[in-house]
Amino acid sequence: MSEAPAPRRVRVAVEAPQHSGLTGPLDYLGPQDLTPGTLVHVTLGRRDVMGLVWDDLPDGVELPEDERLPESELRPVGEALDALPPLSDRWRRLVEFAASYYQRSVGELALAVLPPQLRDLDAKQLQARLKKLDKADAAAAAQAAATPATPADRPALTAQQQAALDAVLELAAREAPPPALLWGLTGSGKTEIYLRAAEAALERGQQVLVLVPEINLTPQLEARFAERFAGHAIVSLHSGLTPAQRLRHWLAAHLGRAQLVLGTRLAVFASMPRLGLIVVDEEHDPSYKQQDGARYSARDLAVYRGHLEKVPVLLGSATPSLESWQHALGGRYRRIDLTERIGGGALPRVRLFDMNRLERKKGVTTTLSVPLLDALRKRLDRGEQSLVFLNRRGYAPVLHCDQCNWKSDCPHCSAHQVFHKEDRTLRCHHCGVSARVPRACPSCGNPDIAPLGRGTERLEEQLAQALPGARVARIDADTTKLKGSLESQLAAVHEGDVDILVGTQMVAKGHDFRRITLVAAVNPDGALFSSDFRAPERLFSLLMQAGGRAGRDAAQAAASEMWVQTWYPEHALYQSLQKHDYEAFASSQLHERMSANLPPFAHLALVRAEGRSVEAARDFLTAAQEAAQALPLSLGLLLYPPVPMAVARIADSERFQMLIEAGSRAQLQRFLRAWLPELHALKRRQKGLTRWAVDVDPLAI
Ligand code: ADP
Ligand code: ZN
Ligand code: ZN
């Protein structure tokens, strides 16, 4: 009997909380033949946790003395889940990059992006799962293999689509394809290009990853892919799946059985051994940015992954993010344009309704202006549908007493509690606290407290009153809380059971409503004066997208209209919108960003701090700033002083932020790597500080 080879030092990525200061994989003792990418059980402190065997340090590189435990003190690796093929080298490079770029530990990120259920399995349970999957997959896989990638039933491409597809295929044939920005109006046939590019990848025996911004949009796209690629193995990956489904779908991707993987931002980390194409639909959408933990941008990581795997990345949008647009202008991304709507449908005429010219009469509400009501009535008479868009849910943003000036403030936040009439509650949209509406003013007893302003609930009520007989429906976060309710409400709109649909940005995105001929934005001006420099960009894309809902049916396109009520009709944003001129809008915005030294011409990081007192949050950031100034690497960076966040207090937590601006990404990264360890140390010393976090490339400021 030969002796077992001596165990060796192996590095294992484990989910150590970031504040522990452990950033790299930890050393354990394991068998010689343990392959990187294998899941193993290890002991961390006193807990048994899942870890992922990481790569050995390159030859000649060693950890500093004080971080390198002697072999005699290392703990042994536990059970290995080696029935699962190891996560690939490229997958580990993606995770390593994301962890380093967004300043998290490799282990935290690696474990966080795996399906949660996988972490709880032992080797035996995993084997049982795989066996069960094998049986279920065998039949499906046989069918998938036998199904030709070329579907019989697909439309002939327009000349413009053919040119776009040729461009994509030409890129795909390259050794290292650059990302492509597919710029095309809503209804210009972008999805058809995704489908054709996917088809080509499937023909090459490759897997395709398609990202969509929102969970609500996955069923639609899934249906379209499922219809086109009937018989192929398609799985979805998003947070709405049960843990068991998520594991099953993830395994199908990892084992190479799923040919198409559709998902939200977390799917960018799906393990796919034969990845051949990545599609990012609506690439400008803010939902691609993760808002807690590792605050990654799935769009940006998709681009990086394409570069790593040498596969084409197709970014699609009618209103690309200014970052992507600038990359296209500079030649880093290849731009592919679709300028015509399929079937020749025209874009809706944009009518900028000047609120200054509205007659001021008592009792005339400004939101539902008389001309707007007339326009809605016309649609009603013709049996057409309208969409009225207001980005504020609830009945009224605040209740108010005009005797003593009391307002329904949230006791825990620096914000008002929103009045919801349906269940007669006051609800805080920041901390979630909810209370009964008081009978009288809590401060002076005046029984006449009144709602101030307007949300979708009130708009719905006022529309129903002003247009008797009209079937008015509302879609927003409040009406769609129950599973399946959004689907059934959308179905009602499609069936023609609704004349006027009221909603928040939820309805502006993606839905293919055929009978809508009027889209009205009743109060969009707020974004023009926001302290967030990205607000105009978001407003423009939202309005373009909302407008795209109208006139998708070419026969009605000519009569379609987008109605924008504004006090600033001369504003450049609205002027570009009126001409459907994204290019002009982008160019004016980029000009402004350049002169203000903002992204994409500068690179930002934001440090946010929350504390039990103003002092705790502010003092932490002040100390952080001093530590930054003492670092030579901060030379040439702009360190803004700490300021309260836009909503300064949420759930009794005081919130401050501090912005860092750098001329180059690399410079920012070098600085953050040197600075963050100091923040971890400061956090331990700062009393009353509850949380802090760094956000690289923050979206909302
Ligand atoms: P987008 O993704 O840009 O909004 P879609 O790909 O959804 O556009 O196309 C809009 C509509 O036109 C869809 O109903 C689609 O089925 C249809 N369509 C797309 N390409 C063609 C084509 N070449 N011939 C006929 N219909 C098409
Ligand atoms: Zn009062
Ligand atoms: Zn609150």
The answer to whether residue 20 scores a pLDDT higher than 60 is no
pTM: predicted TM-score of the whole model, two decimal places:
0.93
The answer to whether residue 510 scores a pLDDT higher than 60 is no
616 vs 604: CA distance, rounded Å: 24
398 vs 669: CA distance, rounded Å: 43
203 vs 274: CA distance, rounded Å: 12
Residue 525 pLDDT: 92
By alpha-carbon position, which residue is closest to atom 4 of ligand 1?
A: 187
659 vs 642: CA distance, rounded Å: 8
Ligand 1 atom closest to the CA of 192, numbered from 1? 6
The answer to whether residue 550 scores a pLDDT higher than 80 is no
By alpha-carbon position, which residue is closest to atom 9 of ligand 1?
A: 189
Least Cα distance to 671 among 696, 693, 644 occurs for: 696
* Structure token pair of residue 382: 């013709």
Distance 459 CA to ligand 1 centre (A): 33
> Which residues' Cβ are closer than 6 Å to ligand 1?
155-158, 161, 184, 186-192, 342
- Placement of tokens 């001093």 in the chain: 626
Residue 7 pLDDT: 86
Kind and range of the H or E element at 143? helix 123-146
Instruction: Indicate the burial class of 324 (C-beta count within 10 angstroms; 0-12, 13-18, 19 or more).
Output: buried
Least Cα distance to 534 among 700, 312, 304 occurs for: 700
Distance of CA 596 to the CA centre of its chain: 26
Residue 643 pLDDT: 96
Distance 408 CA to ligand 3 centre (A): 11
Residue 18 pLDDT: 58
By alpha-carbon position, which residue is closest to atom 14 of ligand 1?
A: 187
Mutation to probe ligand 1, out of 157, 183, 342, 509 (largest number of atoms < 8 A from CB): 342
* Residue 479 near residue 499, CB atoms below 8 Å: no
Distance 191 CA to ligand 1 centre (A): 7
* pLDDT, greater one: 202 or 505: 202
Least Cα distance to 89 among 46, 132, 45, 38 occurs for: 38
Among 46-55, 351-360, 409-418, 545-554, the range scoring the smallest mean pLDDT is 545-554
The answer to whether residue 359 scores a pLDDT higher than 90 is no
Round the average pLDDT of the chain to a whole number and report it: 91
Ligand 1 atom closest to the CA of 161, numbered from 1? 23
Residue 134 pLDDT: 86
Cα–Cα distances in Å, from 459 out to 80, 465, 494, 534? 59, 10, 21, 27
* Residue 52 near residue 12, CB atoms below 8 Å: yes
Distance 71 CA to ligand 2 centre (A): 72
By alpha-carbon position, which residue is closest to atom 24 of ligand 1?
A: 155
pLDDT in tens, 553-588: 656 667 789 999 999 999 999 999 999 999 999 999
Least Cα distance to 611 among 682, 689, 687 occurs for: 689
pLDDT in tens, 205-222: 999 999 999 887 777 888
* Residue 456 near residue 474, CB atoms below 8 Å: yes
> What phi and psi, each to the nearest 5 degrees, are found at residue 690?
-95, -40
Ligand 1 atom closest to the CA of 338, numbered from 1? 3
Distance 17 CA to ligand 3 centre (A): 28
* Structure token pair of residue 365: 């509400």
Band of pLDDT at residue 432, cut at 50, 70 and 90: very high
Q: Which residues surround ligand 2, an ion (CB under 5 A)?
A: 401, 403-404, 406, 441, 443-444, 446
Distance 281 CA to ligand 1 centre (A): 14
- Placement of tokens 């502006």 in the chain: 508
Upstream peptide bond of 600 is cis (omega within 30 degrees of 0)? yes
Mutation to probe ligand 1, out of 192, 285, 514 (largest number of atoms < 8 A from CB): 192
Band of pLDDT at residue 482, cut at 50, 70 and 90: confident
Among 74-83, 110-119, 482-491, 676-685, the range scoring the smallest mean pLDDT is 482-491
Residue 201 pLDDT: 96
> Which of helix, strand or coil describes residue 31?
coil
Question: What distance, in Å, lies between the first and last C-alpha atoms of the chain?
Answer: 66
137 vs 130: CA distance, rounded Å: 10
Band of pLDDT at residue 342, cut at 50, 70 and 90: confident
* Structure token pair of residue 160: 């413009």
- Give the number of the ligand closest to the Cα of residue 193: 1
pLDDT in tens, 145-200: 677 767 778 899 999 999 999 999 999 999 999 999 999 988 899 999 999 999 99
> What phi and psi, each to the nearest 5 degrees, are found at residue 235?
-130, 155
The answer to whether residue 135 scores a pLDDT higher than 90 is no
- Give the number of the ligand closest to the Cα of residue 186: 1
The answer to whether residue 348 scores a pLDDT higher than 80 is yes
The answer to whether residue 19 scores a pLDDT higher than 70 is no
Task: Give the length of the chain.
Answer: 701
* Structure token pair of residue 389: 């868009």
Residue 145 pLDDT: 67
676 vs 100: CA distance, rounded Å: 12
466 vs 417: CA distance, rounded Å: 27
CB atoms within 10 A of CB 123: 17
Least Cα distance to 597 among 541, 637, 642 occurs for: 637
- Give the number of the ligand closest to the Cα of residue 228: 1
By alpha-carbon position, which residue is closest to atom 18 of ligand 1?
A: 189
Distance 420 CA to ligand 2 centre (A): 20
pLDDT in tens, 580-639: 999 999 999 999 999 999 999 999 999 999 999 999 999 999 999 999 999 999 999 999
By alpha-carbon position, which residue is closest to atom 6 of ligand 1?
A: 189
Distance 449 CA to ligand 2 centre (A): 7
608 vs 621: CA distance, rounded Å: 8
* Structure token pair of residue 190: 């972008």
- Give the number of the ligand closest to the Cα of residue 412: 3
The answer to whether residue 3 scores a pLDDT higher than 70 is no
Q: Residues near 145 by Cβ (< 8 Å), separated by ≥ 6?
A: none
Strands (E), 567-637: 603-611
* Residue 197 near residue 279, CB atoms below 8 Å: yes
Percent of the chain with pLDDT over 90: 73
Kind and range of the H or E element at 184? strand 180-184
Residue 362 pLDDT: 58
DSSP state of 663: S
- Placement of tokens 């203000």 in the chain: 596
Q: Residues near 61 by Cβ (< 8 Å), separated by ≥ 6?
A: none
The answer to whether residue 365 scores a pLDDT higher than 80 is no
Among 50-59, 319-328, 395-404, the range scoring the smallest mean pLDDT is 50-59
Distance 413 CA to ligand 3 centre (A): 4
- Give the number of the ligand closest to the Cα of residue 409: 3
Upstream peptide bond of 148 is cis (omega within 30 degrees of 0)? no
Distance 528 CA to ligand 1 centre (A): 33
60 vs 62: CA distance, rounded Å: 6
320 vs 33: CA distance, rounded Å: 47
Ligand 1 atom closest to the CA of 156, numbered from 1? 23
Among 130-139, 179-188, 468-477, the range scoring the smallest mean pLDDT is 130-139
Mutation to probe ligand 1, out of 191, 212, 514 (largest number of atoms < 8 A from CB): 191
Residue 483 pLDDT: 81
pLDDT in tens, 246-283: 999 999 999 999 999 999 999 999 999 999 999 999 99
Band of pLDDT at residue 691, cut at 50, 70 and 90: very high
The residue type found at 467 is L
